[in-house]
């Protein structure tokens, strides 16, 4: 028997509230991940390996790389050592994969001795682990020219 106050409306409001709460959590996790990722990239790049798993995939400027070791090798052997990421935007969404999060980042990369910053975009698909953490399943990186 439906609730006299209109059960459907109550359920809809609860669902909207839950969606807002989930979106807030997704935004918080997305921002925390981005802060952590680029802090490691700029200050302790070898530690980025801890964010990937054997099934992880990176597409870096069109080059497809799979697995922790190969991804770590690529990131640690880029033609610049020191750098500083300046983040402009972070957009996060829950993914269809249970508890996963898609994070899209835009910003600029400052290299030592370079006057102009390089604009970039990067997308991460984060997957939850059994212990409540996330790992990077998919990572796409592109410099933005023009």
What the block records as the tokens of 56 is 């992880």
pLDDT digits (tens, 9 = 90+) for 37-67: 999 999 999 999 999 999 999 999 999 999 9
pTM, two decimals, is 0.85
Strands 134-143 vs 52-60: parallel, antiparallel or unpaired: parallel
Cα Rg for the chain, rounded, in angstroms? 19
Residue ranges in the chain modelled with pLDDT below 50: 1-14
């Amino acid at each position: 028997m439906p609730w006299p106050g209109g059960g459907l409306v109550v359920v809809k409001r609860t669902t909207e509230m839950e969606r807002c709460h989930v979106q807030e959590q997704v935004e918080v996790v997305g921002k925390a991940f981005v802060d952590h990722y680029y802090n490691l990239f700029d200050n302790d790049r070898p530690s980025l390996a801890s964010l990937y798993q054997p099934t992880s995939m990176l597409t870096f400027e069109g080059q497809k790389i799979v697995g922790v070791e190969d991804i770590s090798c690529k990131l640690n052997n880029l033609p610049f050592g020191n750098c500083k990421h300046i983040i402009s935007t972070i957009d996060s969404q829950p993914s269809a994969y249970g508890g996963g999060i898609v994070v899209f980042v835009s910003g600029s990369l400052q290299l030592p001795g370079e006057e102009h910053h390089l604009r970039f975009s990067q997308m991460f698909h984060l997957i939850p682990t059994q212990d409540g953490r996330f790992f990077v399943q998919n990572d796409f990186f592109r410099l933005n020219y023009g």
